[in-house]
Structure formats: C-alpha cells, structure tokens
Structure 1
Amino acid sequence: MRTSRNRKITLNLAQIVAITATQKIKYLEWGRGTGKSTILAYFMLMMAKYMPRATFILVGCTYAQVLSNTLKSTKKALEFFGIYEDIDYVVGSSQGRRLGYKMPYEKPNNWNNIIHFSNGTVFQLVGLDNPNSSNGGRGINSSGILADEAALLDDEKLAINVKNTNRAIAKSAIHGDNPYLLSETYVSSTPLTKKGAWFLKGEELAKRKPEDIFFHSATAHWNLDNVRADYFEYMKDSYSSELVYNAEMLNIRPKEIADGFYPQLTEDHYYTNFDNDYLEGIPLTDLSGNVFNSKQDSDVIKSDPLIISVDWGANINAMTVHQLQDDTWFVLKEFFVKSPKILDDLFIEQFAPYYRTHTCRDLYMYYDRTGNNRIANSKLTFAEQAKELLQKLGWNVYLMTTGANPDYVLKFRLINSALKYDGKKNLPKIRINKANCPNLIISMEHAEAYDRGRGLEKDKRPEQRKGVEQEHATHLSDTFDYPFFAMFWDQFNGSSVKQEDLPISTF
C-alpha cells in the first residue's frame, strides 16, 4: 500500500492475512516481533479513512497502561505509515479545530483522552479500570473497537463497558458495506495468567462462527524480513525464561498448574484501583516516567505505614509493598532489579522515587531469615544494611523478621485458607493489585508444590535454573509469604478452624 505521501509500505504475511480477513471481529494471538503495533495502527488508519468523523475506542486494561504503553507504541507505528502527530492528528487537546481539522459527528465533552485525526475521526482512549469517568466506555456511541494487550482485559468489564457502546451507525458509513463499521480487533500475545483465558476462547468462537469471527495465531517467524537474523536466539537469551519465551515468542500456551503452591488463588483476588483523576490530568504530550508514581494509586492509604517484604539474591533482588486496611490485606506494588544491579538500586532507583510523596515515612520490613546473616567484612547484616540505606532516603525502618523460617506446609495451609475463606476463619481478605504486580501474579500462579520426602514444599528449583526468568520464579511469591505468615499465623493457629476445613494438597 501507499500512504497519502506516496511512501511505499511493506507488510509481513501475518499482517496481510489479518487485513484481508473479512470478518469484523478479529482475535490476533501474535507473539513478540510479529507486528502487533503496526497492525493496530493500520486498522486505526483504515477506520479513519472509511469512516471520517466517526468515533472509535482504543481500549486497554487500565488507563495507566494505555498512557504508558499503548499510546507510545501507536504513535511510533503511525509514523511507520507516514502519519505524524501535530500534522495528521493531535492527542489530548482541542488544537485540531485551530489546525482546520474537521469535527466528529459526536464531539467529546473534553479532549484530554482523544486522538483526533484531521478528517474528523476520533479515537477515545479507554481504561477498563474506570468505566464511569470521561475515559470510560459508558455514554460513548462508538463505531468500532481496537484493543491492545487484550489478554490483560477483564472480559466482563469489556462486554459491559466497551462492547455495549459499539452501536453507532456513523453518517459516513450509511452508503455501501463498510468493512470497519462496528468492527472489533483484539491483539495480544499468549496470556500468561488465568485471566487471559477468555481471549483464547476466541479460537473456539471462530470455529463456531467462521463468517463473523476470525482467529489467527502467528509468531515473528512470519516477520523474518523485518527482524534481526538471530532474533529468536537473541530473545531467548533476553527472556532467559522458557515459560515466558514459549508464550510470548512461540505462542506455546502455559499449562495450568493443577497442584500449585497457591491452588486457592483466583481472579477474584485481583483488582485495579488507579486515581484516574490524576492520570487524566497528565498531558498526553508529557508522559515521562516520573509521572507514574504512587500518586496514581488509589489503593494506598498515604498517611499509614507501608509494609515491605524483600527477597535478596545473587541474580535478583525483589520486593513487594503491602498494607493491612481494615479486614483486607492489600499487595500494592512489586519491584525488582536483576544482576548486575544490587539491593541498593532496588531502593534508590525504584522504591524511593515511586513512594517519594507518601506522607507516612514508617516502613515495616520483612524478609527471609538469611537477611539476619552478617555481610562479609562488615558488622551489618543484610537487613541492617538495607535499613541504613532506607533511613538515608528518609524512611523510619523497623526490622520485623526473627527466628527460623516456618515450614512450607504451615505457610501453605495459612495462605490457602485465607484465599479460600476470603475474610472468614479469623483471617483477612487478600487482594493483589494486578496492574502493579503482574510478575508477582505469574510467580504465584506458576509456583508448584512438590514432596521430596520431607513433606510439602514450594518448588524452588526454578530459582536455580539458568533458563528461568527470575521475576517469574518463586522470589516474588516468597515476598508475599514472609509478612503474611509472620502477622497472621498465631491468630490462625489459635482459631477454631477444624483440621478438615483446611485446604489440602494432593501430595
């Protein structure tokens, strides 16, 4: 194809297959490097071309994700087609009118979350975490949907708050059979967690309704002319994780861990809670990394202490941030750095900048008991060194870990009881921020349990395997275990829970 500037564009075979599919509902399960951003930009341009002055939705899991990832990649892909910001389109402002752009048939109440093309077509940026705001789907009369990272979407929210708006018959589309009118395109790599199962069901839907629904699976093998010759070998070294490499590069779907260490963990334990008023106030022309900090989080009580949990090692230093709020244990945020970075970098580069505006400066720090071992050639333990560093960063730190590590079987029973009974049996509810803790969720959902003759244990062998990406091994799941067991085991052990009520393993 050629753009309006007569620039020659070459598409790969997977992209050609997608654009020639006549079905209006498309599921594209494409691995990394296949050209997902390019195909989204192509469909965006075709929707604008065929339906000038219409309104469409570009949707992501959260508005924060749309701002930090989708919008940036979309702009870059539009440039590939010779379409440039502030010339052919504007984002987040009403400047289009001053530039002589046509107005859409349905002018938005505000332009903060709008991509406005010169022919009057607009795309509203929508995060499923805030359906009732100006960035939500309700109240919109749209003529089509584009979804990035679709496997991260909540299918129920997608149906209620976005699909339900895909109903407008734009004046520009009343003549002829418009291929993009009321279309839906969902693009994603293979889901790594349970919540993405709905996306894969698109394959079965396509078999049942082949005239209406198209499902396509492809990898970067379809795009070899546009990637480096050693792309797959290079990416395998980069991921260094067989699980994630197979899923994101080869579309090999992860097996479900039937006998995992957290068998009671479900999608019901996950949530998102961003301060979209704050995010909507960020100019779309100023999306530098420092705007994405704890100000965007509505789940943290800024006047209360933070509970942090740290797992340190040679290959990775990982931590999670928690708060107990009434009867609910919230896991608010994950952080990690990998070698050659060290524990200092975890605090200085990640934790401290993210929580710099947190008003309460008290930290309660939990960790593996090895943190109480002394560092070579130092009077300080690992934990004391971390405390000293955090104090220099302005925090009041209380070291909470003493004694020996508890048995795995005790942690298994406590945590899975809390997950199962959800606020009953003298234990708090557990809620994990899925947008802020994606690797923790992978770590927990794929943590296996096994018995090597000493009773039930968490399978820690992935931490030693060279081919496992360490943020998806068990390190982050351990940071979940440390404070939860320390704070709630005694009251659980002294409760009236009967042995037959406890979750059991098949081992």
Structure 2
Amino acid sequence: MSNWIDDETVEFELNDRQADFIEAITYDLNAKGVKTAGIVGGIGSGKSFIMAFAMLCSKEDLPKAKGQFACNTVKQFKRSIFPGVKSVWREHFNMTPYDFSTGEGDYCLWKEPPANWDRPWQEPDDWENCISFPNGWVMEVCGYKLNADLHRGRNDDFAFMDEALLFKREWLKILEGRLRANVGKFHSNWHHLFCFFSSPSYGSGGDWMYEVEKLMATEVGRYYFTTITTRDNILFLPPNFIENLKKKLLKIEYAVEVEGKRISRLPNCYYPAFDYERHTDIDEEEIYNPAEGIVTVVDFNARFTSCTNWQNTPHSPLHRCAFDSFVKEPDNDKTMAQTLAIKLREELENRGHKKRQIIITGDRNGNNKSAGSVKKSDGTWETFFEQFGEEFSTHGWDTIIAPIHYNPPKDEIYTLMSDMLSENSEVTPVVLRFSKAHARSTTTSIQMTPITGDYRKDKGSESKPGVAQENATHLSDTVDYYAVYISKPHLAYASSGFDIDFM
C-alpha cells in the first residue's frame, strides 16, 4: 500500500483486515455527526500497527484539527501505549520527534510546537499532554479515571482509544459528547470519528465494544466494527509464531488471544464473580507501597511453592495483591520453603522496601512436620512456616508467623470468595485488587480454576502433565487463605514478633 505522508510516498503492506478497516473509515463512514470504528485483536494481530497508521491518516485528512486520545490515565498512555505508536512511526514511516536544538523532526511531544508550525482551529491552553504535527493536527491525551467530568467542556474533532475493554461505559457518554468541533470545516469521514482499538476481553469488561458490531448492521455509514486474529497477520510474523503460542498459552488463552474466541463468562469457574478488568483496575504506582508492611500468603508444595503478597492501608476496605512469587525447584541444600523465602526477601529488598515487617500466613499444613521439615540441633523439627519466617527474621525483619489453623470447607470458601469478589456484600465489605503486571499468574490461576458439582475446586491442573504450575490452582489457593485471614482472624494464630495491627 502507498500513502502520502508529509510530501513523501511511503510504501508498506497491510493485512486484509487492516486494509478493510482503513477503507471502511475513509469511504464508507459517511454519516453526518459522530461516527464510530473499532477493531479488537489479540497477540501478534497487528492491532498496534493499524492504530498508529490510523492516527497518521487522521492527521493527513484533518489539518488544524484537535482531538483526544482517551485512556485511563495520562501516565498509562505515556508509559505503555505511546512507545508502541512511536516505534511504528519510526520504523515504518521514518518519523522522529522534533528536536528543538536542531530544528529537525516530524512531530512535537508534550510541549508547545515551534512558532512556524500551524495551530489547530481551537488551540489548547496547555500543551503538556499534546502530540502535534506541522500541519496543526493536535492530539491531547485525556485520562478519565481520576475525574472523567473534567473533560465535559471539551470540543474535539476526533477521538482515539486503545485497550477499550478497560474504558467504562459512563466515561464513553462523556467522550462521545465532545465530538462536536468545527462543523462544516472538514469534508472527511475522519472528522467527528471515534476510533477505538482493544485486546479481547475474558469477561464482561468492554461489552459496549461488541454493541458497535450490532449497530453496524442497522446504521450503515455510522458504525464499523471488526476483529483481527493472529492468523490474519501471519505473513508478517516469524515462522512457528502461532505454534509456539499454542505450546505456551493455556487452552482458553489460546482460544481468546489467538483464535479470537469470545467469552462473556468463564465456564464452570470456581470464581464466577471475578472480573479481570474490574479486579485489576488500579494503577501500578498505587498497588505497592514500600513504606507499608507485607502479608505474605504461602502455599507449600513439593514441586511448586508459591505466595501472594498483600498490603492494606489501615481502615481501608482495599486489599492489594502487589505481586506473586513462586519456585519450581529448591536451591542447593535448601528446602522449597527456604528457596522461596530467599527469593521473596531479595525481591522486596531490590524493590527498596522500607518497612521491614512481614506477616506470614497460609495453609495450616505448612505448620506440620513432614518430609521437607528440617531437624534442628536441639532435636526439634522446623516446620515450613518456621523455615520461611527464619529467612526474614535473621535478616532483621520483624516477623509474625500466623498460619490458618483450620481450613474451612471448600463450599464455605466458595461463598466467601463470591461475596468478596462481587463487592456487594455487607458481611464482607472488602475490595480486592490485583496488579496486572506483577500478579498475572495469580489472576490467570483464578480465571482458570474449574468447579466441581458440589462447589469444590477441581484441582486436577496441579497434576496434569503439560500445565504450567503457575497457572494451576496453587496461587488461587493463596487468595482463598488471604480471604480467610482477613475475614476470620480467629482462625489464624501468631507466634513471636510484634503487634499484628500494623496492617
């Protein structure tokens, strides 16, 4: 495909779905007023490329236009989204940011552009979050999570969005109402266009995206929606890319991310109230605080020992799973418990953890003498919990060992977790949030845990060949133990250390 970019003809290729998307916007979305075009794609589908190219198409067709890139937070865009866009612009279109010292570059980032560049019809008052081009096209990054109402006064010519599955429906109403600027100044289908891109959803999050597909059938010229799969982009991927994904991903992950299967709710799941989008809806900067103590919940196993690490500011209902950790084999002359404890302590210290206080809880079986226990010089046996805690106490941490001394029946756990995750129970007014980046194994474990007919966990994945144990049910067990720990503190007992109220 050839495209005219800044007086140069640039040659590049699109896959069929990408080409259809651009063609539909350019020629078919000709209704007056707000128009919507969306594309949902999984791993390696080329979604990020077509988003970056669509921005350039908008720029070429709408000189002196000003619009927005809608996202959760501005920080999220600058750290996670724009580096990919910037890479596409550089690698495929030879475009670089403007350098004020040399006067060279194709677009200006996060400051007012040079005086000789055109300005949009409605110039922004603050350029701090703007991307601008010499022809006056300006895109301002708008974060909706902290205060969506701040954007009600905007007048925009266009709007872009990535990871639309995380964008709330109530924010959408605000965004679409802003597409009202410069009526009659442009004669292009890219004007007053809301253009969204997204990864596929594992649950109900972003269900509004698929409503656009239904509207496309009845309101021709106003809506366009398509999906793009890994196979659609296979000519642009390395050999064996799909085969390697099939080996590494869980069956359901492969179905959703590679084949494009839609799942509104995970079938036969032990945690039906878990919603990935809602329960990971927290900024990474907020989920971990090095000045707070840690509650570590451990699941001991001879072949896979794991833990989740939690924080809770006093008097707050919010409990944050900051990260998970696990080991699959012991270090030399160490037990699995000791190996994981060493790994966790080093990780916390590498993170610059300041408040060296830790509560260690989890499965009561870790407090029993077993084949993995260590016999001390005085003839007594050191349990897994004691081994784990000793690694911290000997390195100057205030340590409490508080294992669950009674494991409630699994049907009680099922009810407890349903109450907590649904967030509408007066009995357990708790809000659980998980780090997207650092607790992904835990959320995958939760999503992939089946239920039996009598409301028990199907733990077959822990012994099934070929299943990565970090995606089996082990880590979800630690979430259960944490739920018991915070809701039924009488079931946990502490030994030595300090006052347990630091959380």
Task: Report the AA paired with residue 252 of structure 1.
Answer: K
Partner of 1:335: 324
Partner of 1:118: 134
Partner of 2:13: 10
Alpha-carbon spacing, 1:315–1:403, altered in 2? closer, same or farther (3 Å): closer
Task: Report the AA paired with residue 201 of structure 1.
Answer: E
Q: In the TM superposition, what is the alpha-carbon distance from 1:35 to its structure 2 partner? A: 0.8
- Does residue 429 of structure 2 align to residue 416 of structure 1? no
Alpha-carbon spacing, 1:54–1:420, altered in 2? closer, same or farther (3 Å): closer
Residue deviations 1:224-268 (CA, integer Å, cap 9, x gap): 2211121110222232x1111111111012362465323344689
CA distance in 2, matches of 1:202, 1:471: 36
**Aligned to 1:42, what secondary structure does the other structure show?**
helix
Which runs of 5 or more residues in structure 1 are unaligned? 275-292, 493-507
CA distance in 1, matches of 2:210, 2:468: 24
- Does residue 315 of structure 2 align to residue 326 of structure 1? yes
CA distance in 2, matches of 1:55, 1:439: 41
- Does residue 114 of structure 2 align to residue 97 of structure 1? yes
Alpha-carbon spacing, 1:118–1:61, altered in 2? closer, same or farther (3 Å): same
Partner of 2:475: 476
Retained in 1: the 8 A contact 2:205–2:278?
Answer: no
Which runs of 5 or more residues in structure 2 are unaligned? 30-34, 99-104, 331-338, 377-381, 492-503
Q: In the TM superposition, what is the alpha-carbon distance from 1:43 to its structure 2 partner? A: 0.9
Alpha-carbon spacing, 1:438–1:204, altered in 2? closer, same or farther (3 Å): farther
Which of 448, 451, 469 pairs up with 1:449? Answer: 451
Partner of 2:237: 227
CA distance in 2, matches of 1:470, 1:93: 48
Partner of 2:32: none
- Does residue 101 of structure 2 align to residue 83 of structure 1? no
**Aligned to 1:450, what secondary structure does the other structure show?**
coil
Alpha-carbon spacing, 1:182–1:306, altered in 2? closer, same or farther (3 Å): same
Partner of 1:502: none
- Does residue 209 of structure 2 align to residue 199 of structure 1? yes
Residue deviations 1:426-481 (CA, integer Å, cap 9, x gap): x3333425756566445434432214xxx531122234445555555433322221
Partner of 1:50: 61
CA distance in 2, matches of 1:10, 1:464: 46
Alpha-carbon spacing, 1:199–1:393, altered in 2? closer, same or farther (3 Å): farther
Alpha-carbon spacing, 1:361–1:247, altered in 2? closer, same or farther (3 Å): same
Retained in 2: the 8 A contact 1:309–1:367?
Answer: yes
Percent identity of the aligned residues?
22
Task: Report the AA paired with residue 206 of structure 2.
Answer: G
Alpha-carbon spacing, 1:420–1:54, altered in 2? closer, same or farther (3 Å): closer
**Aligned to 2:197, what secondary structure does the other structure show?**
strand
Please give the TM-score of this superposition, normalised by the length of structure 1: 0.78
Q: In the TM superposition, what is the alpha-carbon distance from 1:199 to its structure 2 partner? A: 2.1
Partner of 1:166: 179
**Aligned to 1:428, what secondary structure does the other structure show?**
coil
Which of 251, 261, 265 pairs up with 2:260? Answer: 251
Which of 399, 402, 410 pairs up with 1:400? Answer: 402
Retained in 2: the 8 A contact 1:47–1:180?
Answer: yes
What does 1:227-306 align with in structure 2 at a 5 Å threshold?
227-239=237-249, 241-254=250-263, 256-257=265-266, 259-265=268-274, 270=279, 272-274=281-283, 296-297=285-286, 304-306=292-294
Partner of 2:501: none
CA distance in 1, matches of 2:234, 2:275: 38
**Aligned to 1:169, what secondary structure does the other structure show?**
coil
Residue deviations 1:163-199 (CA, integer Å, cap 9, x gap): 23222227xx614x31211112221232113213232
Please give the TM-score of this superposition, normalised by the length of structure 2: 0.78
**Aligned to 1:250, what secondary structure does the other structure show?**
coil
Task: Report the AA paired with residue 182 of structure 2.
Answer: I
Q: May I ask how many residue pairs the two structures share in their alignment?
A: 456
Retained in 2: the 8 A contact 1:320–1:480?
Answer: no
Alpha-carbon spacing, 1:132–1:195, altered in 2? closer, same or farther (3 Å): closer
**Greater Rg by CA:** 2
Which has the larger displacement, 44-53 or 216-225? Answer: 216-225
Retained in 1: the 8 A contact 2:67–2:157?
Answer: yes
Task: Report the AA paired with residue 118 of structure 1.
Answer: P
Partner of 2:499: none
Partner of 1:147: 161
Retained in 2: the 8 A contact 1:114–1:122?
Answer: yes
Q: In the TM superposition, what is the alpha-carbon distance from 1:16 to its structure 2 partner? A: 0.6
Alpha-carbon spacing, 1:221–1:416, altered in 2? closer, same or farther (3 Å): closer
Retained in 2: the 8 A contact 1:243–1:468?
Answer: no
Q: In the TM superposition, what is the alpha-carbon distance from 1:381 to its structure 2 partner? A: 4.7
**Aligned to 2:231, what secondary structure does the other structure show?**
helix
